[in-house]
Amino acid sequence: MKLYNPPSPLETKVVSKRFGMENSWKLDTYLATGGFEGFKKAMGMSSDEIINEVKASSLRGRGGAGFPTGMKWGFVPRNTDAPKYIVVNADESEPGTCKDRLLMEHDPYLLIEGILIAAKAVGASKGWIYIRGEYRYLVDHVDDVLKEAYQRGYMGKNIAGTGFDFELYTQIGAGAYECGEESALLESLEGKRGVPRIRPPFPAVSGAFQAPTVLNNVETFCAVPDILCNGGKWFADLGTPKNGGTRMVCLAGHVNKPGVYEVPLGMNMMYFINELGGGMRGGKKMKALIPGGSSCPLLRADECDIAMDYDSMAKAGTMLGSGGMMVMDEDTDMVKVALRIMRFYKHESCGWCIPCREGTTWLQKMLARIVDGNGAVRDIDLIGDLAKNMLGRTFCPLGDAAAMPTISIVEKFRPEFEAYVAKNPFAASELVQVA
């Protein structure tokens, strides 16, 4: 198991601090480097104290949605006989995202410690790490780690002699992006079709097997041990107000030094691309980028001089998302990018609701036709119209995730579409209005 890239001195390594150490995934390495100190500290704290510490850190979900983690844990009901569960979203299917696999490969005990702290905070007794089907190799690796943990008394009964009991299992998915959506993940975990649930109720109240469940991304759990050790305020101060801590950004595309880098929230995006990413390769100019996974609206090169944190990105009309940053140079064909993105969403649409199932299919077929050279002028406006007809109407955010990048590409790179259409001798006329 190798790392993609050598570390950069400009990184702030919190969750990735053990990357590159020899046998970083082994328990002895973990213990020798301060492992399980956070958990032991949590054993001496009350549920409220732990949750308040996490709230103070302003840690937000690192899977893409960015929901405040402490608040989520606070929703789990206290006075109930129901068992409580922890579920780790290791479904990492957002295009461009490849950080959770690194965490599970190179520092799995950090994840385990984060899970245990969450379990202590809400009173959970059992948990599952839901790993996407495409990460088959990783399930074996995590199972080996769990075996070691159980054998050495760091999982199961009386963990590390603290008297705390917890059972942790891996669960493999079967190749569905939608199962990264929290309620669809729970359905898949329960052995049913991976279609999302009606919410409310939310997983914190009714989750796995209708029991209160804390469901967070791998990286989110991994941030928790250090928060407990060094304090929530310490974590918050690493970033910007309300956007605390660091996050792993998966830099890909036409840069000199693609790789996964952990940076503090609030770092300037151009600084990140130029200083850590080594700037554009081959001396080309940047045209556009996908900031945090393909579900975000794209940014033009001139829109990228912004801080990388949840609020600033939202203000710029996009999202921090899952950290999957894909940088595109001036030679990139944006129409093909739009098609590639839509092909993904059409393939992954679970089919539950009409707008997403039919909308993604229609858009994909239309974009394919345009790329093939059979597009018409009216198709260009139709793309935006159809995508807007999906936005906000679907059962789950996948519809929005398909619509938003498409709308941004058509709006920001319209001339490229017009160029494709101009090549078609049979290009027709105006759009037919719907309403």
Give the Cα separation of 244 and 264 in Å (integer): 8
For position 314 contacting another protein by CB under 8 A, the verdict is no
Q: Kindly tell me which of 119 and 398 has the beta carbon lying closer to another protein.
A: 398
| DSSP string across 382-397 | HHHHHHHHHTTTSSST
Task: Give least dist CB 392 to another protein, A.
Answer: 4
Residue 372: is it exposed, middle or buried by C-beta count within 10 angstroms (0-12/13-18/19+)? exposed
CA dihedral 293, 128, 394, 133 (to 10 degrees): 60
Q: Kindly tell me which of 354 and 419 has the beta carbon lying closer to another protein.
A: 354
Candidate residues 136, 193, 285, 423; the one interacting with another protein per rule CB under 8 A:
193
Q: Give which of 359, 339, 351, 431 is closest to 400, Cα–Cα.
A: 359
Q: Kindly tell me which of 198 and 283 has the beta carbon lying closer to another protein.
A: 198
Candidate residues 61, 225, 277, 355; the one interacting with another protein per rule CB under 8 A:
355
Question: Interface residues for another protein in 134-163 (CB under 8 A)?
Answer: none
H-run or E-run covering 181: none
Q: Kindly tell me which of 193 and 300 has the beta carbon lying closer to another protein.
A: 193
For position 432 contacting another protein by CB under 8 A, the verdict is yes
Candidate residues 354, 373, 411, 415; the one interacting with another protein per rule CB under 8 A:
354
Candidate residues 350, 403, 409, 410; the one interacting with another protein per rule CB under 8 A:
350
Task: Give least dist CB 386 to another protein, A.
Answer: 8
Q: Kindly tell me which of 199 and 233 has the beta carbon lying closer to another protein.
A: 199
Give the Cα separation of 398 and 416 in Å (integer): 26
For position 359 contacting another protein by CB under 8 A, the verdict is yes
For position 366 contacting another protein by CB under 8 A, the verdict is yes
For position 67 contacting another protein by CB under 8 A, the verdict is no
Query: Do the beta carbons of residue 91 and residue 180 sit within 8 Å?
Result: yes
Give the Cα separation of 429 and 435 in Å (integer): 18
User: How many alpha carbons lie under 13 Å from residue 63 in its C-beta half-sphere?
Assistant: 21
Candidate residues 155, 287, 346, 405; the one interacting with another protein per rule CB under 8 A:
346
Candidate residues 20, 241, 351, 415; the one interacting with another protein per rule CB under 8 A:
351
For position 284 contacting another protein by CB under 8 A, the verdict is no
Q: Kindly tell me which of 130 and 166 has the beta carbon lying closer to another protein.
A: 130
**Strand 246-253 and strand 259-264: pairing?**
antiparallel
For 111-135, give one letter per residue: b (16+ CB within 10 A) or e.
Answer: bbbbbbbbbbbbebebbbbbbbeeb
First to last CA, the chain: 56
Candidate residues 394, 401, 405, 421; the one interacting with another protein per rule CB under 8 A:
394
**Strand 246-253 and strand 213-217: pairing?**
unpaired
Question: Interface residues for another protein in 166-185 (CB under 8 A)?
Answer: 176
Number of helical H runs and strand E runs in the chain? 17, 9
Query: Do the beta carbons of residue 47 and residue 78 sit within 8 Å?
Result: yes
Candidate residues 230, 358, 418, 424; the one interacting with another protein per rule CB under 8 A:
358
Query: Do the beta carbons of residue 1 and residue 248 sit within 8 Å?
Result: no
Select from 46-54, 164-172, 296-304, 391-399 the region that touches another protein (CB under 8 A).
391-399
Task: Give least dist CB 123 to another protein, A.
Answer: 28
Select from 132-140, 292-300, 301-309, 346-354 the region that touches another protein (CB under 8 A).
346-354
Task: Give least dist CB 319 to another protein, A.
Answer: 16
Task: Give least dist CB 25 to another protein, A.
Answer: 34
Task: Give least dist CB 326 to another protein, A.
Answer: 24
Q: Give which of 412, 395, 312 is closest to 359, Cα–Cα.
A: 395
Give the Cα separation of 215 and 194 in Å (integer): 16
For position 389 contacting another protein by CB under 8 A, the verdict is yes
Residues lying near another protein in the complex (CB under 8 A): 176, 193, 198, 346-355, 357-362, 365-366, 369, 382, 389, 392-395, 432, 434-435
